[in-house]
Structure 1
Amino acid sequence: MSKYSSAVLVFLAITMSMCGKPQATSSLDSAAADKKNKNRNLLYFDATANFKRFSFQDSIRYYLVKSKDAGVTDVVVDVKPISGEVLYPSKIAPVMNEWAGFTKTEKFDLLTAFIQEAHQLGMTVHASTNIFVAGHNHFNRGPVYADPAKKNWQSLNYTPQGMTPITQIKTKYSAMVNPALPEVQQYELSILKELVTRYPKLDGVILDRVRYDGLESDFSQASRQAFEKHLGRPVAKFPADIYTYSKDEKPVRVPGPLFKQWVEWRAKVIYDFVYQARTELKKINPKLIFGDYTGSWYPTYYEVGVNWASKEYDPSATYDWATPTYKNYGYAEALDLYTTGSYYFEVEKKEAKNINVTTVNRTEAGQGKGTEDWYTVEGSAEMAMKITKGKVPVYAGVYVDQYKGHSEQFVKALKMCRAKSDGAMVFDIVHVINEGWWKELKRGLTE
């Protein structure tokens, strides 16, 4: 989600129809959707940024009490960061017991502690899991580094310099894997199922990084074969039929004849996984809140292979990268909760005129450098509500560190999230702690 990287549900019936694609219909009219899923305020607890702090059980309760007092209703505990390790006793994924030179010594189950302490305070607990990533490139750490059997899972990126494994691109901190590989999907599903089975009192799961690394991934032979199967015919020139690079000093992508079909296929890969994950997890715990996080920059989010809109929204009417059938792979209907990163310093749409594209902090996947009003908290939240069509509660989110030195803008952003969506999401508690912004957090979430 960043560089650091309730309980009544709207039941969705999953069926196999319409060209064999899984579709979802709600058993309730969307206007009568569960109101308890609205007016939430979610606070993230990042795994690595807070590893030492939450290796002590009394620290967990201390910060949960402070969060509750500040108006937080839901805590999101990051239990599977981008390193591909987990913060609970897994029999499938490697367990993180050490980070940044600190080794956990207290013998307690972190997620159990969060669930018990938060429930005593009347708070809801979601576990956040990073899906299609299995390594931290800045530390050469994670399954794609440590496990020879998983080395070939990593994304193969088509760059101006040629085909490059992502572990060799150290400007990227996330060692993303190829979502189209069946073995990758089954591995990630097995971890999710283990998590939900192990913690029956867990209220929800929020998926993160259910996406491709970017437009340049994945160009492995496995992806080519899967794409050809989707098309029903061979691709004569790969990857040139998808795109090429110009010969300029600063090469730019030049779309090929199959570019739009490639964009649609990638969205289908993610769509299919989201529905499968929902189905599998609901079998284990029908009351589980099935959630997802993505960035809010929908007009460029196709670059990471994700269509988080409702099927009722047709982007091809507005954007030239979308086919008329791209809308079939919108997965808003699959979700019980959706939170989006309205990660902009500018809060009101009228502030868009002040955007300086040479200085803005936009380093998230697929995030562009534009000055449209959806590059503001207000504009992005409005867009998210518009294109999800009321199919799922939406929580616009802020990245606290973007407001460093500007506490009033932080408060203003939180209030805007609540005004323009169903509540607010705050990433991350570490920044609130570092800035000492507990009073500001409370103002933003309660006033």
Structure 2
Amino acid sequence: MQTNAQPPLGGVATLPPASEKPEQGVRTDTLIAIAALGSLFLLPILASLAPLIFLAFGAFLMARRPASTIDALVRNWYILILPLYAFASTLWSAEPNLSMRYGFQLLLTFMIGIVIAHRVTAYTFLAISFWTSVPIILISALFGGARLDGIALGVFAAKNAYATAISMFALAALGLLFARETDRLTRLAALFGVLISPALLISAQSSGAIVTTLLTVGSFGMFVVGGWLTAYQRRGYFTLLFSIFAVLGLVVAVFHQQLLEILLALFDKDTTITGRTELWEIGSNLISERPFLGLGFQSFWVQNTPDAEELWAYFKIDARTGFHFHNTYISIGVELGIIGIALTAILLFSSLARSVQWAVKEPFGTAGYFVGFAVLIAARSMVEVDVFYQFSASSVTIICGLIYANQALAAYRASQPQITNEAIRTIVYPARLADTKIASADRGAPS
């Protein structure tokens, strides 16, 4: 839960043990969270070390306060349904050993994410995401590689991965820039990050990343504007804003095909979206073969699987690994069926919806960051697979965003004045209540 008064790098949502000083508990939890989260954000540099560091420090964070860990997991049991279902797919998986292994890793990722959200504040999480992204972006910009056609790759294997990292870095910089808790030095660093991001994004030449970044920054800005309005003005502003979104949503639903063609023409893209439509058709056919349960968690892209081998050969993926259907819902549907698609959509859009509610109440940088991140992932979910696989920084961010939003909204409700039954009776029956009080006073008066 976010508070106005915090230690330099954030705070915790639960109290440390009585034997430990509060400041020491805060500092220790923050350092552990930095190591765990930082390893995921530094995945392009740390490679196979990143999951080991995340698990080691994540396990340490959970073991420090077992009672607090259990309480956090019980409170957020619904978030664990998806990874538990992925783990359970071992029972019907085409590759049971892989589904068991990766399903358990996904469950651990979710559990650690939940505990992190209960040990450090939302602002601390935002600061960690920014500062751990700085070395990736700087190394990519100064020493990163490029394709033969001049498109920048940074330290990543593909331009889209680099562009996505820039988008997330820009969003974190914006969040810190407009957060109330940010000190002057950090605000200057965030401003520098915001200023260099457009040039870096253009160097990666990813049209999809440019579109989704504009959408993300726009949604962030719309909510942050509310921070400069009075409560009365804010109510009217957000009512107007949501009305406009409703109309735009209707227009997109009716004219989505025409709008897609215009967008593709604008960025000089072919109508197959670089072969994605073919992948989507094949994925949809695979879902129809096992619609409810799917093939098992991460059991499709396995070497010597006929369909996977055929797709690798068709799309010239010589490594025969590291490929997906370029659509979050189709990828999940192939592995976990319609049930998996439903669980994925519920979790992702619950995080988005609750973050929006939070940003309406507190339209500042921290809430805006989690709204923007959920918008970014939701927008990219139609063409990429960014969330709900093991050791994914994006998955942890979506989970924590949902928990932080729930905490902030619960705190907001608790801070509001409670209307008692007596107050309601006073409003509805003022005259009757007054007569009752007069009669009671008369009975109590000495004769």
Normalised-by-shorter TM-score class: under 0.3
TM-score, normalised via structure 1 length: 0.25
The higher relative CO (CA closer than 8 Å, separation ≥ 6) is in 2
More strand per residue: 1
Decide which structure has the larger Cα Rg and report it. Answer: 2
More helix per residue: 2
